[in-house]
Amino acid sequence: MKVDTQEFAKEYTLLECIQCGRCTGGCPVSLKTSLNIRSIIYECLIEDTVDPSRLDVLWDCTNCLTCTIRCPKDIHPADVIIGLRGYIVGEGRGLPPRVRDALKSAFTRGNTLGYATEGRNGWVEGLDFEVPNVLDAGETDLLYYIGCTPAYDPRIQPVTRALATVFRRAGIDFATMGVDEQCCGNEIRRMGEADGFQGLVEGFHEMRREFKAQRMVAVSPHCFNAFKNEYGEMPFPVYHYTQMMADLLEQGRLKLPGEVRAKVTYHDPCFLGKHNGIYDEPRYILQRIPGVEFQDLDRSRERSVCCEGGGGRMWAEGTNIKDRLAHQRVRDAISMGAEVLAVACPFCLLTLEDAVKTLGLDSQLRVMDIMELVQKAM
């Protein structure tokens, strides 16, 4: 497998790179694996061709975007990884089996997790009200986009239900696309499947011509990011749920009469923070929950450390499965005396909770989605 570096370097504006090392220096996985995006870029500048299939480390990248926001020359090293993965996906050789399965499932079943298409509405079980389907209703104020993990994963489903409950209580007219909802493709794209992603984009745009909506909200920052930044022109504004919750709280449409007595800290999801600059809304919500004693982690906001759940890493294990960044994150939270590590992303919830369990620290720290805390106080 050969990549013509001259073309590649031009496409990704690599010729401007001054090899300062800020990308690799900030890369959270560079401390645990030999992934060095700076030297990969250098190879693309110096060699005539590179062979991505021999670069196992390409699958270490979480697409957290630290490299890109630190780059003084405005090069996008995270996109370079996606570009190189694209060659591997194109030829199929060297593709990690679980990545292959996720990509296949996304196109055959509409979800990355290998579940049956018809089960996409399973999350509604336990709700004491009907969730309307926008394709039946033809019109809604708020299109509620669920996403694969929030729809199928039993650990995330309560978060998805909590959000629906808040919309209902606040009197918001909302609807979902039911079992016709397709994977957003954010992770697909980042695993290098550009064409397949384009197919999902076109599929969505075709479907949304059949109904009207004023706005759209997503549970996962990953889906939110795809629709907001990578779906071309959208007919309505796209929000992450933390933005809507913050608004509802501010307008007094969401009341929190209950109390959650706990020392809470917050882990910034990369696709909410670094990708989209949403840092204040989640903190605003947490600080409005009665009883919550909020304190930030030392490494927070722009300096937050990735949980290793992004960029396809929920499927690709990477070259070092022993050391996990989520472990350090959990230890940091405990050492500052936090009892709850709040997140606003399904992947962060899964990876961090996994870390708590692996480390046997269940009795000291709970990982909870912000929506779970909100529901407790409702």
Partner 1 sequence: MSERVKITIDGKEAWVEPETTILEAARTLGIDVPTLCHNPALEPYGACRMCTVEIVGKGWSQLVTSCNYPIRREMEVLTASDRVVRGRRMLVELLLARCPDAPLFQEMAARYGVGRPRFETQQADLCYLCGLCVRVCHERVGAKAISFVGRGVEREVATPFFKISEACIACGACEFICPTGAIKVSDITDKPIRPLPLEFDMGLRGRGNIYIPFPQAVPNVPVIDRAHCLYFQAGTCRTCEEFCPPHAIDYSQEDEFLDVDVGAVVVATGFDPFDARDKPEFGYGRYRTVISGLEFERLASASGPTQGKIKIDGKVPQDIVFVHCVGSRDKQQGGEYCSRICCMYTAKQAHLAHDKIPGSNITVFYMDVRAFGKGFEEFYDRVRAEGITYRRGNPSEIYRRGDRLVVRAEDTLLGRTVEVEADLVVLATGVQPRADAAEVASMLSLERGEDGFFQELHPELRPVDTKRRGIFLAGTVQSPKDIPDTVAQAKAAAAGVIVELSKLRRKAE
CB of 174 to partner 1, least distance (A): 36
User: From the CB of 365, what's the least distance to partner 1, in Å?
Assistant: 20
Minimal distance in Å, beta carbon 348 to partner 1?
19
Minimum CB–partner distance for residue 70 and partner 1 (Å)? 5
Cβ closest to partner 1, residue 164 vs residue 307: 307
The nearest distance, CB 35 to partner 1, in angstroms, is: 10
Binders of partner 1 in range 94-153 (CB under 8 A): none
For 52-78, give the DSSP string: GGG-GGGGG-----HHHHH-TT---HH
Is the separation of the CB atoms in 114 and 105 below 8 Å?
Answer: yes
3-state secondary structure of 332: helix
Contacting residue, 4, 6, 15, 25, with partner 1 by CB under 8 A: 25
Q: Is 302 in the site for partner 1 (CB under 8 A)?
A: yes
39 is a contact residue toward partner 1 (CB under 8 A): yes
Residue span binding partner 1 (CB under 8 A) among the ranges 13-21, 123-131, 179-187, 244-252: 13-21
**Residue whose structure tokens are 């269940």:** 362
337 is an interface residue for partner 1 by CB under 8 A: no
Rounded CA gap, 308 and 96, in Å? Answer: 17
CA distance 1 to 87: 8
CB distance 24 to 283 below 8 Å = no
Neighbours of 259 (CB within 10 A): 12
Instruction: Write down the H helix ranges in 109-191.
Output: 134-137, 148-152, 157-169, 186-190
Q: Which of 301, 359, 361, 376 binds partner 1 (CB under 8 A)?
A: 301
43-102: which residues touch partner 1 (CB under 8 A)?
66, 69-74
Please identify, using beta-carbon distances, which residue of 180 and 332 lies nearer to partner 1: 332
* Tokens representing residue 196 in the block: 């397949």
Q: Which of 3, 9, 26, 372 binds partner 1 (CB under 8 A)?
A: 26
Stretches 6-14, 24-32, 218-226, 231-239: which one binds partner 1 (CB under 8 A)? 24-32
Instruction: Indicate if the alpha-carbon torsion angle 107, 230, 370, 143 is positive or negative.
Output: negative
Those residues with Cβ within 8 angstroms of residue 59's Cβ, 6 or more apart along the chain or in another chain: 85, 96, 99, 312, 313, 316, 317, 318, 319
Establish if 299 lies at the interface with partner 1 (CB under 8 A): yes
Please answer whether residues 1 and 87 qualify as being in contact, where contact means their C-beta atoms are separated by less than 8 angstroms. yes
* 15 interacts with partner 1 by CB under 8 A: no
Q: CB of 323: closest distance to partner 1 in angstroms?
A: 13
Min dist CB 230 to partner 1, Å, is 21
8-state DSSP, 28: G
Determine, following the binding rule CB under 8 A, whether residue 213 of this chain makes contact with partner 1.
no
Q: Is residue 22 part of the contact set for partner 1 (CB under 8 A)?
A: yes
Q: Please state, in angstroms and rounded to a whole number, the distance separating the CA atoms of residues 332 and 340.
A: 12
Distance of CA 116 to the CA centre of its chain: 22
Shortest distance (Å) from residue 31 CB to partner 1: 6
Residues that bind partner 1 (CB under 8 A): 18-27, 30-31, 36, 38-39, 66, 69-74, 298-299, 301-303
